Chain A
Amino acid sequence: MLMIFLLGALKWLGLIMVFVMPVASLLTWAERRQSAMMQDRLGPNRANIGSVRIWGILHFVADAVKMLFKEDFVPAKAHKTLFRLAPVLAFAPVLIAFAIIPFGPTIHVDHLFKVLDPYSAPSGGERLQIFTAEFGMLFYFAIASIANYGTTLAGWASYNKWALLGGLRASSQMMAYEVTMGLAVLGMFLVTGTLEPGAMVDWQGPNPLHWGITVQPLAFLLFFTAAIAETKRAPFDIPEGEPEVIGYFLEYSGLGFGTFFLAEFVEIVFVGALMTTVFFGGYHIPGLYQNGFYFGDWFFELPHVVVAVLQVHAFIFKVIFFCWFQLLIRWTLPRFRPDQLIHLGWKKILPMSLANVMITAAVLLWLGL
Chain B
Amino acid sequence: MRTGAAALLLVGVVLLVAGVASAQPGPGPTAQIAVPRPGGGVQLLRIDGAGNVDAVPAVATDAPDDMSAPAPTGKGAAFAFWLFSAIVVGGAIFTITRRNAVTAVMSLVGTFIGIAAIYAMLFAHFLAAIQVLVYAGAIMVLFVFVVMLLNKEEEEPFAFRGVIGKVLSLGAIAYLGFRLITLFWRVKDDPTLTEAAWQTGEFAAYGTTKGVGQLLFTDYLFPFEAVSIVLLVAVIGALVLAHPEHVTAGEPEPEPAGKPPGAGAGAVAGEAEPHV
Contact = CB atoms under 8 A, between A and B. Distances in A.
Contact of A148 (B76, B116, B137): B137
A196 to B, nearest CB: 9
A145 B141 contact: yes
Nearest to A1: B195
A68 B141 CA distance: 31
Interface string A122-148: 000000000001110011011111101
Residue from B76, B103, B137, B138 with most neighbouring chain A CB atoms (10 Å): B137
Given A4-B195, A79-B102, A134-B208, A142 B129 contact: yes
Interface in B119-140: 125-126, 129-130, 132-133, 136-138
Nearest to B208: A134
Contacts of A201: none
A288 B247 CA distance: 60
B129 A139 contact: yes
B145 A168 contact: yes
A134 B210 contact: yes
Interface string B191-229: 000010000000000001110000000000000000000
A153 B132 contact: no
Interface string B44-66: 00000000000000000000000
Interface in B129-160: 129-130, 132-133, 136-138, 141, 144-145, 148-149
B109 interface: yes
A167 B209 CA distance: 33
Nearest to B76: A1
B91 to A, nearest CB: 14
A4 B100 CA distance: 42
Given A145-B132, A148-B141, A156-B102, A138 B126 contact: yes
B148 A175 contact: no
B23 interface: no
A182 to B, nearest CB: 9
Q: How large is the interface on A (under 10, 10 to 19, 20 to 34, 35 or more residues)?
A: 20 to 34
A149 B210 contact: no
B148 A79 contact: no
A171 B130 CA distance: 19
Interface string A1-24: 100100000000000000000000
A152 B137 contact: no
Nearest to B210: A134
Given A144-B137, A155-B148, 4 more contacts: A82-B102, A142-B116, A146-B136, A149-B106
Interface of A: 1, 4, 79, 81-82, 85, 133-135, 138-139, 141-146, 148-149, 152-153, 155-157, 164, 167-168, 171-172, 175, 178, 195
Interface of B: 76, 100, 102-103, 106, 109, 116, 125-126, 129-130, 132-133, 136-138, 141, 144-145, 148-149, 195, 208-210
